[in-house]
Structure 1
Amino acid sequence: MVAMLTLEERLRRCTRAAVHLEMRDGYMRSDPRFVAWQQGVRNDSADSDPERRPWLRLVADLVAQGVEVRRARIVSEPVSDYIRFEHHLTGPTVSAGEQVRWLSRRRASGLALPGNDFWLFDDSSVVFHHFAGDGELAPDDEEFTDDPAVVKLCASAFDSVWSLAVPHADYQLT
């Protein structure tokens, strides 16, 4: 059943594109990497090591298979510490092949956006992510749909954000 797949399994099933829209200013602040970063740990070799950071290997595998992987982040400015942490980790992700852009929340006011972060797979299905108010994953953290109207909404929202957003290499933290 498609609804029970892990994110990695869904991504590995993609043949053309996987896009991710993030709209929160903080996620899972209990993450040990974030805690270490807050304590001044920077440039840890694990940040760019695909063996210690499996996301990098996954992205490289997908891109090598011809899957376009894109992520857009809508962020408040000045940015939160968590967004600074994400920005710090994004360079190795881009080097692995993921395209990442950043959009100031102020520039997103005129966009029609779904209420939750999501992954869109091959323009055919969506997984929404649900978070608690503190940024931790909610108990029912994923919601899968292949409803054509919802897929269309998410594709349109992502494209709108992407067209306004700034590529990672050009985005300056404020």
Structure 2
Amino acid sequence: MPSSVPTFAELLDGATQSAVHLEMRDVYGVGSEADDFARWQETGERDTDPASAYWQPWADLVRRTVARGVTVRRARIISEPVSAYIRYEHAGTVVNLGAGEDVRWLPRRQASDLALPGNDFWLIDGRVVRWNHFSGDGASCAGETSQEPSVAKLCADAFDAVWARAVPHHEYKII
């Protein structure tokens, strides 16, 4: 394991072909989202301005990644009925799409027979895995990377299997 884990900006800026992200939790408690999530819970309104302080760094990163010809895809495995957090994510996904990501949703019951890794991950160019670790309450913990070919293959196969079954964002209806 390297002494330092590259940032998401470093990983995506270094991508030459693809960046895929598999999310498998129903609740995240990432500190940088806390205020926006609380506001959404109180008002039902979600920040969907790609130029806002909340979204701009991510939207800019994805735009410049896609502008280089890199495909950016995100798949989310979710329980149904969905959690409040997944409703919040779904409401903001329009920004991901506008920046150039392709996003799909897979109900967890349709993933029961898939072999999946134990943690969320990013896979860059089919060879670099960036594991996303979270505490039990969803707080982001230190990440980890791997360039082991067998680990990259596990993640690529898992992502491809999820992607093949998942519903494109514009077709997925929240339950």
Q: Per the shorter chain, which TM-score range? A: over 0.9
Shift of 1:51: 5.1
| Structure 2 Cα separation of the partners of residues 48 and 72 of structure 1 | 22
The answer for unaligned runs of 5 or more in structure 2 is none
| Structure 2 counterpart SS, 1:78 | coil
Deviation at 1:93, TM superposition (A): 1.1
Partner of 1:129: 132
Structure-2 residue corresponding to 1:48? 49
Q: Which residue of 2 aligns with 1:168?
A: 169
Show the counterpart of 1:120. 123
Query: Who is 1:101 aligned against?
Result: 104
Q: Which residue identity does 1:123 align to in structure 2?
A: G
For the aligned residues, what is the CA RMSD?
A: 1.5
The 2-side partners of 1:50 and 1:122 are apart by: 28
Q: 1:153 to 1:131 in 2, by over 3 A?
A: same
* Aligned 8 A contact 2:30 2:140 in 1: no
- Mapped contact 2:120–2:132 kept (Cα < 8 A): yes
Q: Distance in 2 between matches of 1:64 and 1:34?
A: 30
Using the alignment, how far apart are the partners of 1:126 and 1:4 within structure 2?
11
Greater CA drift, 95-104 or 54-63? 54-63
In 1, the alpha carbon distance for the partners of 2:146 and 2:97 equals: 28
> What's the CA shift for 1:2?
8.8
TM-score (norm 2): 0.92
Q: 1:150 to 1:90 in 2, by over 3 A?
A: same
Aligned partner of 2:75: which letter? A
Could you say which structure has the higher strand fraction?
1
TM-score normalized by structure 1? 0.93
Q: 1:60 deviation in Å? A: 1.0
Residue in 2 that maps onto 1:87: 90
User: 2:4 and 2:126 mapped to 1: Cα distance?
Assistant: 16
